[in-house]
Amino acid sequence: MSYANKEAIEKINAIKSVLDSYRPFPEHVVTQLRDYYRIVMTYSSNALEGNTLTESETKVVIEDGITIGGKTIREHSEAIGHARAYDYIYSLLNRDLSGDDLLHLHKLFFQQIDPETAGNYRRVNVIITGTDYLPPDYLKVPELMRRHIENINRAPADEHPLEWASDLHAEFESIHPFIDGNGRIGRLLLSVGAMKNGYCPVIIPPVRRAEYITALQKANTGDLNKLRGFILSVVYEDMKSLKRLVENLRK
């Protein structure tokens, strides 16, 4: 662990200690937080992939079922699908994940976009635009994902859970198991890893997209530290935000 990452973890854990002193959160706080993150995570994760719905438009699409003029059908489907997949992650927090869980998560997100490939690992080879990295041959994906799920379900004794979640995120994205939607599903799994260990959902701001992509590219070369540092910096800001939200809701 680098000194910078150790320092970031200490800051994050200091906030976590304060939040832990407020637990268990009242039911109305839990409900409002879940609703809040449903919109914010859906907006931010989709925006990272080029979806042009604003946060307020995302909320209208998800909660009111209203279509937004000038926006594509796919953009609406991505918002609805991500919200459904987000709802599902709460069923994963107190148990081990299975391969079926991961496929179902993808199906929830992708069903309205492409029913034929939703909930299935890719059956073709793919490239990732903007990088020289080539994901594994599609024939290797089922076995790689079997090992990946094993890694998700083991708790490393010698690594901080947030760094471990970052490493798992890098591993998932490097496998690139689906024909599309890998970023969205990978970030939901990243949040599951954080939330299982008492941290907040991980929200990557769209304005930090270039930094995030660069960190992932470095991870694909075997250098995981840049992505770890990036994820820790995001979680630190997210934890500060969560603390403000909880303290405001508890008044």
Per-residue tokens: 64: 């009111």
pLDDT at 128: 87
| Mean pLDDT of the 242-246 span | 97
Dmax (CA) of the chain: 55
pLDDT at 178: 98
| Mean pLDDT of the 111-131 span | 94
Q: Is the pLDDT of residue 20 over 90?
A: yes
pLDDT digits (tens, 9 = 90+) for 132-156: 899 999 999 999 999 999 999 997 7
pLDDT at 14: 98
- Residue 131 pLDDT level (bands cut at 50, 70, 90): confident
Per the listing, tokens 């299975």 go with: 98
Closest CA relative to residue 183, chosen from 11, 57, 42: 42
| Mean pLDDT of the 31-36 span | 97
Active-site residues, by number, are 176
Domain count, the chain: 1
pLDDT at 1: 67
Tell the burial category of 211 from Cβ atoms under 10 Å away from its Cβ (0-12, 13-18, 19+): middle
State the Cα–Cα distance between residues 76 and 220, nearest whole angstrom: 31
Q: Is the CB of residue 41 less than 8 Å from the CB of residue 86?
A: yes
pLDDT at 43: 98
How confident is the prediction for the chain on average, in pLDDT? 96
Q: How many angstroms separate the Cα of 134 from the Cα of each of 20, 164, 212, 251?
A: 42, 23, 18, 51
pLDDT digits (tens, 9 = 90+) for 174-215: 999 999 999 999 999 999 999 999 999 999 999 999 999 999
Q: Of 1-15, 68-82, 94-108, which range is least confident? A: 1-15
Q: Is the pLDDT of residue 163 over 90?
A: yes
CATH number reported for the structural domain that contains residue 78 in this entry:
1.10.3290.10
Q: Is the pLDDT of residue 82 over 80?
A: yes
50's torsion region: left (phi>0), alpha (psi -120 to 50) or beta?
left
State the Cα–Cα distance between residues 168 and 191, nearest whole angstrom: 11
Q: Say how many C-beta atoms besides its own lie within 10 A of residue 88's C-beta.
A: 16
Q: Of 3-12, 91-100, 185-194, 226-235, which range is least confident? A: 3-12
Structural domain including 112 reads 3-249
State the Cα–Cα distance between residues 95 and 1, nearest whole angstrom: 28
